[in-house]
Amino acid sequence: MSNDAAQSPGRRGPRLDRLVRAGTAAATGWAAAAAALGAGELVAAVTGPDTAPVIAVGSAAIDLTPTALKEYAVRTFGTDDKAVLLGGIHLTTALLAALAGVLAARRPLLGAGVFAAFGLLGTWAALARPAADTADAAPALVAGLAGALTAHVLARILRATDRTAATRPTAPGEAPEQDGRSKDQTAGPVVTSRRAVLAATGGTIAVGALAGVGGRSLSDHRDGTGAARTAVHIPPAAAPLPPLPTTVHPNVPGLSPFVTSTADFYRVDTALTLPRIDPRRWALHIRGMVDRPLLITFDELLREPLEELDHTLSCVSNEVGGPYVGTTRWLGASLPALLLRAGVRPGADQLVGRSQDGMTIGTPLESVLDGRRALLAVAMNGEALPVAHGFPCRSVIPGFYGYTSATKWLVDLNVTTFAAYDPYWVRRGWDRTGTVRTASRIEVPAPFARVPAGDVTIAGTAWATHRGVAAVEVRIDGGSWQEALLAADAGADLWRQWSCTWTGATPGTHRIEARATDATGSVQTANRAAPYPAGATGWHSTVVTVT
Ligand SMILES: Nc1nc2c(c(=O)[nH]1)N[C@H]1C(S)=C(S)[C@@H](COP(=O)(O)O)O[C@H]1N2
Ligand SMILES: [Mo]
């Protein structure tokens, strides 16, 4: 090597040069990832949005996540848990893609291999979905191929540039012409080809992003669920319920409304992309231990006499005092009536609902058939179910948490036994019955509120779904219990709101506690238990400052 070559392009050159080169290599990795994800989205426009590689991997991650971590995620991120998961997957992808790019710059085949391997991982994830078919493998396979190819090509361009940079100054014949006195001239062609690499990289990223966005909007466009939902005409109930009396709600500012608006209704599920179901193609199987298996289309379901049910749905993952609970007027066909028509055979003790995306939810059959009103619901609050809440049909069975009763996007009902089948959450260690535990929540004053001394209004909501709430008591700073005033009782399947006056509140920090008694006479336990495995227990408490 000539002296010029060793020195060029300057003393701190080699290190800076290596850094720039690594950065460029990392960028080629990102370009390959963009190409891969873009290609995956394009193919997913045909095979369905939930088969796109990131979504498929995310869904597999949700199913594989240990229960403790899932609980932590729900507790920490609430309804944002999915956004956090997707963010994490994208960040990990970006890091790994950068590493793969750097690797590819040394060994193009190895770098390409990393993308191929991730393509296979995505393929496995897509096929591992409970409702997967073979075509679902396509997006990740194509993504892996696109990523590997792009990584390989870009790495070779990068290496070609390196060779130009390394060889040009040492070429004996060229050195005087190219080099002359100026090092800038040496750098000239090198910089130009670096630019070529960057242009190729940037171009690929742009094309990948375009393909991704295009693929997404294509699948949104292809999906007619929104229009189909708007077109659905839900008939009225055969015997409509009277409106709820206004006396169910104590008129206390800050207290949640008695009926939860659909927009405010909590959403909990494992679906990274919402299942899109065309009601014209939807049908529900009722099968298993029955004399006459049924297959019911959506039109047939709507021709059943529809019933209304005022009901408070709650989630087993709700912490004491938490937000995952809501009250709505459901409308749907009678679930017990359809089960009787199918003819349940003796010995069956579990009813397992399965959703279009493969979720399974099991309910004690005896409870479904004990005379309580239970629905195959098609509407809430007077409108067709929103897609997020199970359109076109979900089950609603009072008395149980959502995870053992309220299958959204329901397509199959299997009459079976507890011995024969463990549904999704039971396989993860959750209680197989999922009876709603008695709960009371202090809503007014808000936690850490500052309130003026004197008489302070306390109000909240209590529920013991299907048993009903008989009493709520409140105490201050561990003193004696004071009975709260219960608002009107609208039925055992509904929560009950309450209020009371704390007279003579004195300045300082105080703790308010509340406990409910259900209609069986059982007082809510003080023992604090976490949601896992059968629902949180313990009294809700709020700390306020009286000024
Ligand atoms: N298909 C499907 N149905 C599901 C779930 C789910 O993950 N997938 N989650 C269940 C749980 S845990 C609850 S609490 C309720 C929540 O219903 P919502 O989102 O309409 O409030 O849906 C239940 N039904
Ligand atoms: Mo839940």
**528 Cβ partners below 8 Å, 6+ apart?**
320, 536, 537, 538
Using the mean position of ligand 2's atoms as its centre, give its distance from the Cα of residue 249 in Å: 26
CB 376 within 8 A of CB 363: no
Using the mean position of ligand 2's atoms as its centre, give its distance from the Cα of residue 315 in Å: 4
3-state secondary structure 261-312: CHHHCCCCCCCCCCCCCCCCCCEEEEEECECCCEEEEHHHHHHCCEEEEEEE
Domains recognised in the chain with CATH numbers: 2-222 (no CATH), 246-428 (3.90.420.10), 439-546 (2.60.40.650)
Q: Which atom of ligand 1 is nearest to the CA of 313?
A: 21
Calpha distance 142→157 (Å, rounded): 22
- The number of the ligand nearest the C-alpha atom of 266 reads 1
- The number of the ligand nearest the C-alpha atom of 268 reads 1
Amino acid at 195: R
Using the mean position of ligand 2's atoms as its centre, give its distance from the Cα of residue 435 in Å: 12
CB of 260 closer than 6 A to ligand 1? no
CB of 403 closer than 6 A to ligand 1? yes
Using the mean position of ligand 2's atoms as its centre, give its distance from the Cα of residue 268 in Å: 6
Q: Which atom of ligand 1 is nearest to the CA of 268?
A: 19
Using the mean position of ligand 1's atoms as its centre, give its distance from the Cα of residue 406 in Å: 6
CB of 495 closer than 6 A to ligand 1? no
Calpha distance 179→170 (Å, rounded): 10
**Sheet architecture: strand order including 469-476:** 450-451, 540-546, 508-518, 469-476, 482-483
Q: What is the DSSP letter of 468?
A: -
CB 208 within 8 A of CB 97: no
Sole residue written with tokens 């309220």: 406
Two structure tokens written together for 378: 């098609």
CB 238 within 8 A of CB 305: yes
**Per-residue pLDDT at 519:** 98
Q: Where are the alpha helices (DSSP H) in 292-440?
A: 298-303, 335-342, 365-368, 424-427
pTM: 0.87
Two structure tokens written together for 47: 């095979």
End-to-end CA distance of the chain: 82
Half-sphere exposure of 37 (CA within 13 A, CB side): 22
Q: What is the DSSP letter of 129?
A: S
**Which of the listed residues 129, 260, 264, 268 should we mutate to test ligand 1's pocket, taking the one with most ligand atoms within 8 A of CB?**
268
**Which of the listed residues 403, 428, 435 should we mutate to test ligand 1's pocket, taking the one with most ligand atoms within 8 A of CB?**
403
Calpha distance 530→537 (Å, rounded): 7
Calpha distance 356→344 (Å, rounded): 23
Q: Where are the alpha helices (DSSP H) in 343-470?
A: 365-368, 424-427
CB 484 within 8 A of CB 474: yes
Using the mean position of ligand 2's atoms as its centre, give its distance from the Cα of residue 442 in Å: 21
Q: Which atom of ligand 1 is nearest to the CA of 326?
A: 21
- The number of the ligand nearest the C-alpha atom of 536 reads 2
Sole residue written with tokens 């060994």: 107
**477 Cβ partners below 8 Å, 6+ apart?**
510, 511
Sole residue written with tokens 């040394």: 106
Question: Ramachandran region of residue 347, left (φ > 0), alpha (ψ -120 to 50) or beta?
Answer: left
What is the full per-residue pLDDT of the chain (547 aa) written as tens digits?
344 444 444 455 788 888 888 899 999 999 999 999 999 999 999 998 888 988 988 888 888 888 888 778 877 887 788 888 888 888 988 999 999 999 998 998 998 999 999 999 999 999 988 888 899 999 999 999 999 999 999 988 888 887 776 655 544 434 433 433 444 444 445 555 778 888 899 999 999 999 999 988 888 877 778 888 999 999 999 999 999 999 999 999 999 999 999 999 999 999 988 999 999 999 999 999 999 999 999 999 999 999 999 999 999 999 999 999 999 999 999 999 999 999 999 999 999 999 999 999 999 999 999 999 999 999 999 999 999 999 999 999 999 999 999 999 999 999 999 999 999 999 999 999 999 999 999 999 999 999 999 999 999 999 999 999 999 999 999 999 999 999 999 999 999 999 999 999 999 999 999 999 999 999 999 999 999 999 999 999 999 999 9
How many other CB atoms are found less than 10 A from the CB of residue 192?
A: 11
- Which is it for strands 540-546 and 450-451: parallel, antiparallel or unpaired? parallel
Sole residue written with tokens 């999922």: 434
